[in-house]
Amino acid sequence: MSLYDQLPALIGVVVGSLGSFAAQSLTERRRWQRQREERWDEKRFETYGRYANALKAQLRIAQRIGSALGFTDVADPLPPAEGLPLLAEAESRRATEWESVLLVGDAVTVAAARRWHETIWTIELLVRDGSFDADKWTRAHQLASAARDDFYKSARNDLGIGGGPPPSGQWPRSWRAELSG
């Protein structure tokens, strides 16, 4: 057999090898991209969770100080002299977590997170001011609750979590009104 007779088989082997290489390369690339996306999803999930927990801790301290000042719907009063240093520490933890949100969050979720912590700052300002205004207290909590809902909705969307967000937290809490009625 001459080289000329073997040429079609040789071309077939070369084309088959190139095709196999291309298919394997595409498969590996897709696998790598999928694994990278999974790692980033996990990172975003952890980051959003830590940030939400830091904000909730900050809010809880502010609420306890507010309770000591006479604001309702919160238990476990914490005198301002004891609580304000804890509040400053909680804000520092929140600010540290915030940097991670800025790094891994999408624009919509970062905006929602910013809005949520700004509403928590409003509640902090009320307790730092020390004057009792029940309407402002209630309104500030309503805004914080709505901002929290927006954050979770955005975070869930960014993470590709299907279904609606968790039920909204209404302020003042309905169970308190049920007890009064």
Overall average pLDDT of the 160-170 stretch: 77
Instruction: pLDDT band for 122, please (50, 70, 90 cuts).
Output: very high
Q: How far apart are the first and last CA of the chain?
A: 101
Instruction: pLDDT band for 174, please (50, 70, 90 cuts).
Output: low
Q: Is 70 left (phi over 0), alpha (psi -120 to 50) or beta?
A: left
175 has a pLDDT exceeding 90? no
Overall average pLDDT of the 117-127 stretch: 95
Query: Which whole-number Å values give the CA distances from 167 to 32, 110, 150, in the listed order?
Result: 36, 21, 11
153 vs 111: CA distance, rounded Å: 12
In our burial notation (b when 16+ CB lie closer than 10 A, e otherwise), range 112-124 reads: bbbbbbebbbbbb
Instruction: pLDDT band for 82, please (50, 70, 90 cuts).
Output: very high
Query: Which residues lie below 8 Å from residue 88, measured CB to CB, with a gap of 6+?
Result: none
In our burial notation (b when 16+ CB lie closer than 10 A, e otherwise), range 45-82 reads: bebbebbbebbebbbbbbbbbbbbbebebbeebbebee
Q: Which two tokens stand for residue 80?
A: 């301002």
Instruction: Count the residues in the chain.
Output: 181
Could you read off the pLDDT of 2-48 as tens digits, one per residue? 767 777 777 777 777 777 777 777 777 777 777 667 667 899 999 99
Number of H helices, E strands in the chain: 5, 0
Q: Phi/psi at 2 (nearest 5 deg)?
A: -90, 165
Average pLDDT value for the chain: 86
Question: 8-17, 20-29, 148-157, 170-179: which has the minimum mean pLDDT?
Answer: 170-179
Instruction: pLDDT band for 1, please (50, 70, 90 cuts).
Output: low
